[in-house]
Amino acid sequence: KAGVTQTPRYLIKTRGQQVTLSCSPISGHRSVSWYQQTPGQGLQFLFEYFSETQRNKGNFPGRFSGRQFSNSRSEMNVSTLELGDSALYLCASSLGGQGGTYGYTFGSGTRLTVV
């Protein structure tokens, strides 16, 4: 079966712009989580959605937002981009919303560069 699909793979944006990243989870997976990975801070949790509801949120400013659709696909949005937002953004899905208990399947990520 298809894995977790993230689009686009690479993105270059200018400071002040906004960006939307997309994630399609494995078919049947209802939970989608987002992580930011940078060389300095490592992997940090952004938020998690289950059945279109945000269940958990990490310590990121309000410029970072997300949503989940009825087909479980998720998008995350970053507004007013800053240079420090340059990172690899990873999406992960889990069956039954228990990835914290059974493990996650990650997508290949979206590499965002802010110039």
Partner 1 sequence: SQQGEEDPQALSIQEGENATMNCSYKTSINNLQWYRQNSGRGLVHLILIRSNEREKHSGRLRVTLDTSKKSSSLLITASRAADTASYFCATGQGGSEKLVFGKGTKLTVNP
Residues that bind partner 1 (CB under 8 A): 4, 6, 31, 33, 35, 42-45, 48, 50, 55-56, 58-59, 88, 90, 92, 94, 97-109, 111
Cα–Cα distances in Å, from 92 out to 12, 13, 27? 22, 23, 13
| Minimal distance, residue 106 CB to partner 1, in Å | 4
Residues in the chain: 115
Taking the complex as a whole, the smallest distance from the CB of residue 4 to partner 1 amounts, in Å, to 8
Q: Measured from the CB of residue 16, what is the shortest distance to partner 1 in angstroms?
A: 26
Helix (H) or strand (E) holding 95: none
Nearer to partner 1, 79 or 108 (CB): 108
Give the single-character DSSP code of 26.
P
Rounded distance between C-alpha atoms, residue 102 and residue 88, angstroms: 24
> Angle at Cα 26 formed by Cα 79 and Cα 90, nearest 5°?
35
C-beta closer to partner 1: residue 14 or 101: 101
Minimum CB distance to partner 1 smaller for 5 or for 79: 5
Q: H-helix or E-strand containing 1?
A: none
The residue among 78 and 91 lying less far from partner 1, judged by its C-beta, is 91
